[in-house]
């Protein structure tokens, strides 16, 4: 089946062809006709399935067919600013041959340009809930004309505590409207929200519930916590990885690790909620362009990032919530390309690994940990190398440990070979006692 079989207008077919899409993805096949027909939709779909076009294309078509007003007629709520920016960009790309205006609003940036932008009117508004409520409170946005509401990555919005904000936003909308809810996972909270929000919805499930996409090859290495960074550096260098997204649990941890691996000669940057929007966009852009090899991210910051054909994801620390593992590895193996997800598991994370395996209903193969050099951390250069001031490829000056060299040339530096396998065997022995 092709896009033209889905009943899309020529302007959208042209835009889709410009994007180079040949055939609709499974979610698009089901969602596009349903949304065009005016149905509510409950879709279990992860990022990477083509879900954005699944709701944006029919929304554009419906809005183009009805009379414009100044106020938004479709509202898309997203958990993060990155996802809001991506969805808005997709809507602009797909709608480029239609006379429709798309706006994005999210926190972390000056509200005033958003207020004046909204004054000029828009058809589709993509927003994070908090900023949208701020704008509504300042009477800068009129939501009374919204006829289609999309909750994108609804599970993540609930995880981030947005449920009250979402309820407040819904109160500002007209009661008669079409509702579309997209979620990668189904918790009881999501089911409850769907029951309250959706009217006789079409349920679409494009990947097995709570299961990672098939295309991701998963494995784990056991390694003591304090040696994870050395193993990581080894894996990146030895594997010739050129683009790797690394997850840490905390913002501080993301910063520190980004500095450590950059100190080992791998161009890197961190992306998390404490970074300014400009810094996050810049880091992501550099990563996409291949100017940095590693992007170290927290869970929330990485949600919805659309990085084409990302080959490698590393769970530097396992997530506390097993569903987050699914989201994380969904960053790779996207749109038909093969990806690899590697987890570095320290002994205190065994229970987390078991939870993940229980959720996946499969074991994650633990590979023999390769021998790696415990390289000393290079001192940070005086100039900050964060995304705010990153000047491009920064790989120089790193001290590559020499094979077989057991002591650093300078006093105070220690280099030695480390084989975590022996530690692993040791800890297995300990556990079996």
Cα separation of 391 and 317, whole Å? 28
Contact range with ligand AMP by CB under 6 A, out of 34-42, 51-59, 125-133, 373-381: 51-59
30 near ligand AMP (CB under 6 A): no
Contact range with ligand AMP by CB under 6 A, out of 5-13, 21-29, 270-278, 364-372: 21-29
Least gap, CB of 183 to ligand AMP (angstroms) = 13
Among 335, 338, 367, 425, binds ligand AMP (CB under 6 A): 335
Nearer to ligand AMP, 56 or 375 (CB): 56
Nearer to ligand AMP, 47 or 369 (CB): 47
Sign of CA dihedral 73, 79, 81, 86: negative
Would you give the distance in Å from CA 9 to the centre of its chain? 30
Contact 98, 64 (CB under 8 A): yes
Neighbours of 351 (CB within 10 A): 9
Q: Annotate each residue in 253-292 with x if it binds ligand AMP (CB under 6 A) or - if it does not, as one string.
A: ----------------------------------------
**Cβ neighbours for 97, distance < 8 A, ≥ 6 positions apart:** 11, 12, 14, 15
25 near ligand AMP (CB under 6 A): yes
Nearer to ligand AMP, 278 or 335 (CB): 335
26 near ligand AMP (CB under 6 A): no
Q: Annotate each residue in 79-118 with x if it binds ligand AMP (CB under 6 A) or - if it does not, as one string.
A: ----------------------------------------
**Cβ neighbours for 161, distance < 8 A, ≥ 6 positions apart:** none
Least gap, CB of 248 to ligand AMP (angstroms) = 23
The residue count for binding ligand AMP (CB under 6 A) is 15
Among 44, 48, 79, 224, binds ligand AMP (CB under 6 A): 48
Cα separation of 48 and 216, whole Å? 12
Among 30, 52, 61, 114, binds ligand AMP (CB under 6 A): 52
Cα separation of 129 and 153, whole Å? 12
Among 30, 47, 78, 114, binds ligand AMP (CB under 6 A): 47
Among 31, 51, 123, 287, binds ligand AMP (CB under 6 A): 51
Of 285-324, which residues contact ligand AMP (CB under 6 A)? 306, 308
Nearer to ligand AMP, 308 or 433 (CB): 308
Least gap, CB of 81 to ligand AMP (angstroms) = 16
332 near ligand AMP (CB under 6 A): no
Nearer to ligand AMP, 21 or 97 (CB): 21
**Cβ neighbours for 221, distance < 8 A, ≥ 6 positions apart:** 231, 235, 342, 343, 344, 345, 366, 367, 369, 370, 420
Contact 139, 110 (CB under 8 A): no
Tokens standing for residue 69? 């007003």
Sign of CA dihedral 286, 289, 294, 298: positive
Closest CA to 329 of 210, 221, 227, 240: 210
In the 8-state DSSP scheme, what is residue 313? E
Among 53, 60, 75, 169, binds ligand AMP (CB under 6 A): 53
Least gap, CB of 308 to ligand AMP (angstroms) = 6
Q: Annotate each residue in 361-380 with x if it binds ligand AMP (CB under 6 A) or - if it does not, as one string.
A: --------------------
Contact range with ligand AMP by CB under 6 A, out of 49-57, 98-106, 122-130, 316-324: 49-57
**Cβ neighbours for 316, distance < 8 A, ≥ 6 positions apart:** 228, 232, 246, 247, 248, 253, 257, 296, 344
DSSP string covering 122-185, please? -SEEEE-HHHHHHHHHTT----TT--EEEETTHHHHHHTT-HHHHHHHHHTS-SS-EEEEEESS
Cα separation of 83 and 254, whole Å? 20
Would you tell me which residues interact with ligand AMP (CB under 6 A)? 21, 24-25, 28, 47-53, 306, 308, 334-335
């Amino acid at each position: 089946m092709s896009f033209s079989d889905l009943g899309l207008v020529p302007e959208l077919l042209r835009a889709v062809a410009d994007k180079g899409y040949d055939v609709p993805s499974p979610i698009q096949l089901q969602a596009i006709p349903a949304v065009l027909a005016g149905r509510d939709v409950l879709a279990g779909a992860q990022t990477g399935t083509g879900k954005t076009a699944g709701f944006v294309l029919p929304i554009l078509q419906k809005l183009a067919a009805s009379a414009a007003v100044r106020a938004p007629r479709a509202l898309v709520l997203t958990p993060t600013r990155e996802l809001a920016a991506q969805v808005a960009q997709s809507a602009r790309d797909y709608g480029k041959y239609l006379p429709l205006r798309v706006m994005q609003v999210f926190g972390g940036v000056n509200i005033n340009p958003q207020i004046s932008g909204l004054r000029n009117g828009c058809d589709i508004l993509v927003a994070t809930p908090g900023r949208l409520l701020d704008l509504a409170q300042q009477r800068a946005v009129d939501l009374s004309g919204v006829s289609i509401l999309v909750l994108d990555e609804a599970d993540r919005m609930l995880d981030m505590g947005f449920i009250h904000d979402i309820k407040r936003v819904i109160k500002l909308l007209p009661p008669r409207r079409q509702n579309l809810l997209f979620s990668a996972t189904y918790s009881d909270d999501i089911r409850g929200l769907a029951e309250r929000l959706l009217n006789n919805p079409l349920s679409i499930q494009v990947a097995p519930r709570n299961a990672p996409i098939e295309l991701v090859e998963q494995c784990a290495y056991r390694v003591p916590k304090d040696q994870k960074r050395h193993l990581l550096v080894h894996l990146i260098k030895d594997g010739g990885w050129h683009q790797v997204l690394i997850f840490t649990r905390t913002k501080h941890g993301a910063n520190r690790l980004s500095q450590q691996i950059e100190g080992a000669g791998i161009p890197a940057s961190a992306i998390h909620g404490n970074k300014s929007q400009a810094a996050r966009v810049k880091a992501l852009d550099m990563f996409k362009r291949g100017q940095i090899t590693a992007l170290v991210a927290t869970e929330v910051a990485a949600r919805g990032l659309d990085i084409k054909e990302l080959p490698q994801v590393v769970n530097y620390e396992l997530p506390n919530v097993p569903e987050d593992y699914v989201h994380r590895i969904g960053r790779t193996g996207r749109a038909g390309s093969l990806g690899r997800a590697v987890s570095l598991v320290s002994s205190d994370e065994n229970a987390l690994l078991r939870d993940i395996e229980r959720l996946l209903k499969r074991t994650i193969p633990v590979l023999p940990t390769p021998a790696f050099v415990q390289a000393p951390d290079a001192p940070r250069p005086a100039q900050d190398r964060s995304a705010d001031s990153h000047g491009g490829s920064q790989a120089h000056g790193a001290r590559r440990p020499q094979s077989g060299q057991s002591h650093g040339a300078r006093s105070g530096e220690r280099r030695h070979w480390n084989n975590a396998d022996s530690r692993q065997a040791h800890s297995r022995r300990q556990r079996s006692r």
